[in-house]
Structure 1
C-alpha cells in the first residue's frame, strides 16, 4: 500500500499545477480506490481483534465486532 502513496501524491501535485490527462485521471481514481480499500481493511482488522470490557471486567464487546471476529476466523 505504501508504494501507492508516492504516485498518488505525484498525480495530485500534477493536477494542481498543470492538470491531468484522461488516462492519468483514471489512474488516479484507481489508485485512490485501492488505497481506501487497504485502509478500510486495516481498520476492520483492528476492530475485529478488539475486546471491550466494562469497569467490572465484563465483556461488553458489540455484537457487530463479535461477528467480525467469527468471519475473520473462518477466512483463515
Structure 2
C-alpha cells in the first residue's frame, strides 16, 4: 500500500498541475508516483479477485472456471 505521505504528495502535485504552476521536475515526480500508485492498486485488486468465490442464491459455487484454475494454481481453492 502507498504511504499516506505519497498520496498527499500526488494530490498536491495534481493541484499544482491543474493550477498551471507545476515545474518539469515535479511533473516527472507526479508521473512516477502515479505509476507506483497504479501498480499497487492493480496488485491489490488482483489479489482480492483471486480470493473471491462466487455463490448463487441457492448456495451453488458458480465461480468462473478461469478463476478456479488460478486459485488451484496458487493453492487458495478449497
- TM-score, length basis structure 1: 0.77
Q: How many residues align?
A: 74
1:23 paired with 2:35, answer: no
Structure 1: tracts of 5 or more residues without a match: none
Please provide the CA RMSD for this pair.
Answer: 2.1
1:2 paired with 2:7, answer: no
| Larger helix percent | 1
Off by >4 Å, runs of 4+ in structure 1: none
- TM-score, length basis structure 2: 0.75
1:59-74 matches, within 5 Å, as: 59-73=61-75
